[in-house]
A and B are shown apart, each in its own frame.
Chain A
């Protein structure tokens, strides 16, 4: 009688955890960027990786998003080991990311940017049917542009958009694949206060439907909205927990405020 129960319980846990890092380490030559980091991220959950500069945030982010492979350890997505797969494989499994340096197709129009991203789900190697025929794609793209507040700028070449707008465009592209996991590397970097608030609202909104992992070094920014915080320091996991725990954590205070 008990056995199945336990089993179901186990399965629930499995289901609840979207992506998991197991004993992740990474060296760059002699430099140890990350040492034995194990973290679990739960589904439909907004979470931030914080830490002072050089803490290894971006490295960790890149490993989670498949941009670089760990020296040791593994990444599990929905219980599957996806360590070292090609970047596009990550994307196809439903892992989307927005980069730290703005990263769009500069010469293509904003709409085309999103359209290409959306198209991925419909026609990967279609040589013959005219693009225009994929009407659904164009509409989805438009919808996404509206969602990030760029509806009116669809025809503008992405390169000509303002910095903040380009970041938003990136989010739209990331959303195009309707990902279960959205990784965002300093989404508000270089944004004006207004743009920042808009972006943070958007992020909270997005987190309602999927897991969102932010990398951020502005601590206050994430305190408000995140359920969980993960603090890295010198490439090691310093602390993880709710904003309250983190705020209370003396170690973190020392690192950030140089106390003790």
Chain B
């Protein structure tokens, strides 16, 4: 299969953002319904943001729901309470999650390994309770309702988010920008630095890189991208559930990354797509979806630790030279 696969993958590797976008353009046709496609778009982005930290820098955070949630809530609150334009609301959501990322990161990067995971978990929970308690602004456990964007004119045509297809393509716009940015960062010298840090912190420091500062930077970037995913989700669902801040939501990012292949560019997206699609199908088939999801998850960890996309790349790399980082 390698000879057949190689040229395709080489092409994808060369224009990874372009190819993913081409795919996403036709994506709604492949999905049973648009809302699922939008969900995959959003969680794909969420997983990509998480992967920046987990896959590329090797820091396993259990607090990433905080960024998804803060993005959602700040965007939602700007629309519901402050009646701001939805674009500004998104900007606020992303900014806020970046800020929270800076704070959490500043505290968390002092710790390593499982302790890092636990600190992020704890800080994430603190954010959760913060929003849970601010019932007046966030709606508390009931969630924030009424995040609606009225139909508007753009370049002569009416954009109405209650039309799922329109919504999908607008969201795709944002995801495209974010993916472009991530791809650029990974290809940049800084991208090399964070991979070096993942491989060997001591060595990176001996090379003269400020490990702590680099880690913090990735943390903030990752947070902002997850924040954008959150912002989009608020507009997509027109509600912000408190669950979006819960640590189980953080766990979902890990699952998606692993399923798709951590430390690969497409992996998280593939992971999110497969995860959500499976869940969608399995839940309608059987009430025992947890068992199915759990089993699939274990199978992957045992037999395909590099994830779906990662394993594909693996085959390919074995067939060719171990060069391109896709």
Contacts and interface: CB of A to CB of B under 8 A. Distances in A.
A–B direct touch in complex (beta carbons closer than 8 A)? yes
Interface residues of A, number: 40
Contact of B189 (A87, A105, A108, A119): A119
Interface stretch (A125-133, A232-240, A243-251): A125-133
Nearest to A93: B208
Interface in A94-148: 96-97, 99, 103-109, 112, 115-117, 119-120, 122-132, 134
Given A108-B195, A125-B217, A128-B184, A91 B206 contact: yes
Interface centre among B195, B206, B209, B211 (most CB of A within 10 A): B206
B210 A128 contact: no
Given A87-B206, A91-B206, A129 B188 contact: yes
B3 interface: no
B321 interface: yes
Contact of A124 (B187, B209, B322): B209
A109 B203 contact: no
Contacts of A104: 200, 203
Interface in A182-196: none
Interface string B179-200: 0000011011111110110011
Given A86-B205, A117-B207, A120-B208, A155 B322 contact: yes
Contacts of A129: 188-189
A97 B208 CA distance: 11
B192 A115 contact: yes
B323 interface: yes
Contacts of A120: 207-209
B299 to A, nearest CB: 24
Given A123-B189, A126-B189, A129-B189, A109 B322 contact: yes
A144 to B, nearest CB: 13
B207 A130 contact: no
Interface string A17-46: 000000000000000000000000000000
Contacts of B189: 119, 122-124, 126, 129, 131, 134
A88 B199 contact: no
Interface string B151-186: 000000000000000000000000000000000110
Contacts of A128: 184-185, 188
B192 A88 contact: no
Interface centre among A97, A117, A176 (most CB of B within 10 A): A117
A108 B205 contact: no
A86 B213 CA distance: 12
Contacts of B85: none
Contact of A88 (B195, B208, B321): B208
B133 interface: no
Interface of B: 184-185, 187-193, 195-196, 199-200, 202-211, 213-214, 217, 321-323
Interface of A: 65, 86-88, 91-92, 96-97, 99, 103-109, 112, 115-117, 119-120, 122-132, 134, 155, 157, 173-174, 176-177
15 contacts: A87-B202, A91-B205, A103-B200, A103-B206, A105-B196, A105-B199, A106-B199, A108-B199, A120-B209, A123-B190, A126-B189, A126-B190, A127-B184, A131-B192, A155-B323
